[in-house]
Structure 1
């Protein structure tokens, strides 16, 4: 066979491969759709160690590796998440904002209940975020659920010494559902509700303190501003401001409520402070002073 004939024989084969559909693995974009945190695991199975977590409505890029698991890049390492809690972006997707850095974000089902005015404050419910099987954010074996409980316990001690009646939604490393936290606060007829968290973000430069209140709750907004003001006064962290948000524990509580994020665990500077007794004590004192200022 001549070289020309050999070349011509390959042309149809080349064209066939050129126009055949080719199956390739490609990353897809989706967002977290869960009433809580979505755990990130070391490998694609439920028995694998937890290496971190994602927050509700957080936009991610993932690779479908089969059996209901997606592969992601989590803080520079490979992680795996259940695709049962990942929804493709589209008409139902939520705009990606700084608010996605926090923990549990949902659409409002009804107007917030916590529209009552601030009155004489005697009964306070502190809500240490996460707990038990829900670690919250996890960075280098540093767990959000631990720092929130520590700050809450310190704040409870300060508030009790100051004459307030204080109770906690959890007093140990136990899992409490979000609705149950709100129901507990409502059952105590508390005057105010304060939820305590630490932030996380894929943007490692994100840093600072921010506080949330339920949209439409003037008293909740006043409480949030008091917490934010005292926190940034006490702690050497960036002031990210006060924002409305439809968190479950904000919209389902019957009293003025606020959720404060004491810095970003994913930011090296913030995390270095969060790991100290000084910062945790400053956070607790900020809560006390905020309550006393109302």
Structure 2
């Protein structure tokens, strides 16, 4: 049987192309690991976890906007990148939207305010119906003043698990992004008040801050944000795993096997 060799292994060019290929692979590894956790990530803790990702706004509702930048067009790509990280770690991921639309339904005929209320209810209802393990809502922030910046995570003050997850996510946003000193903060918002599982809102930055808005529109930075959120979720899940009590484990020796 004849097996065609990849071009970079062609016999006459191996001396040149193979080193070039290895250089590209190694270079990619350096870039990919630029913001990897210092300690091994226990991503196996996400295996078979059902995680709902909620890309904020969509359709008739642009969310915050400055100039040509709209919140709904920032939250979706970040959410898709987060979905990819989580899926690769073995989680079962449900995206509440994968295109520019809301969840109120095409047949809804109410006012814009009523449609927004229906949209939020549909998001919460779907997560509760699925009995999701975690709920992650991605948003961007905005303020009349352009001075404010930095990603920040919010949680329901009555949910201790949500607080722990928010703190884990915020720690990773702080460590990986390197441009926020904000802390996880309690808040009262419909989606984190009504969901029946640990839930957080991640405000990934301020569109009202010119420099941060430019970053948030950059796919490379979006992936960095997504990875930070992913890493925070991993840390949260790992913290929830029951520690192994080594005192209960018997050390098996050769004499035990012989018996």
Category of TM-score, reference length = shorter chain:
0.5 to 0.7
Aligned pairs (5 A) from 1:34-113: none
1:222 corresponds in structure 2 to 164
CA offsets 1:240-286 (integer angstroms, 9 cap, x no match): 21111111110000000000101100001211211111210011111
Aligned pairs (5 A) from 1:169-248: 169-176=96-103, 177-248=119-190
Unaligned runs of 5+ in 2: 1-45, 104-118, 237-259
2:68 corresponds in structure 1 to 141
The TM-score, its normalising length taken from structure 2, stands at: 0.66
The TM-score, its normalising length taken from structure 1, stands at: 0.58
Unaligned runs of 5+ in 1: 1-118
1:261 corresponds in structure 2 to 203
Assess if the C-alpha contact under 8 Å between 1:237 and 1:263 holds in 2: no
1:124 corresponds in structure 2 to 51
Assess if the C-alpha contact under 8 Å between 1:194 and 1:258 holds in 2: yes
State the alpha-carbon separation in 2 of the partners of residues 161 and 121 from structure 1.
11
Assess if the C-alpha contact under 8 Å between 1:237 and 1:270 holds in 2: no
CA drift of 1:121 comes to 6.8
1:160 corresponds in structure 2 to 87
CA offsets 1:224-243 (integer angstroms, 9 cap, x no match): 01111111222132222111
The structure with the greater share of residues assigned to helix is 2
Assess if the C-alpha contact under 8 Å between 1:135 and 1:143 holds in 2: yes
Assess if the C-alpha contact under 8 Å between 1:215 and 1:245 holds in 2: yes
Tell me the C-alpha RMSD between the 2 structures: 1.7
Partner of 1:219, secondary structure, is helix
State the alpha-carbon separation in 2 of the partners of residues 202 and 283 from structure 1.
24
CA drift of 1:168 comes to 1.0
State the alpha-carbon separation in 1 of the partners of residues 179 and 151 from structure 2.
7
Assess if the C-alpha contact under 8 Å between 1:215 and 1:244 holds in 2: yes
State the alpha-carbon separation in 2 of the partners of residues 256 and 155 from structure 1.
17
Higher relative contact order (CA 8 A, sep 6+): 2
State the alpha-carbon separation in 2 of the partners of residues 234 and 190 from structure 1.
27
Instruction: Kindly report structure 1 stretches of 4+ aligned residues shifted beyond 2 Å.
Output: none
State the alpha-carbon separation in 2 of the partners of residues 292 and 124 from structure 1.
12
The structure with the greater share of residues assigned to strand is 1
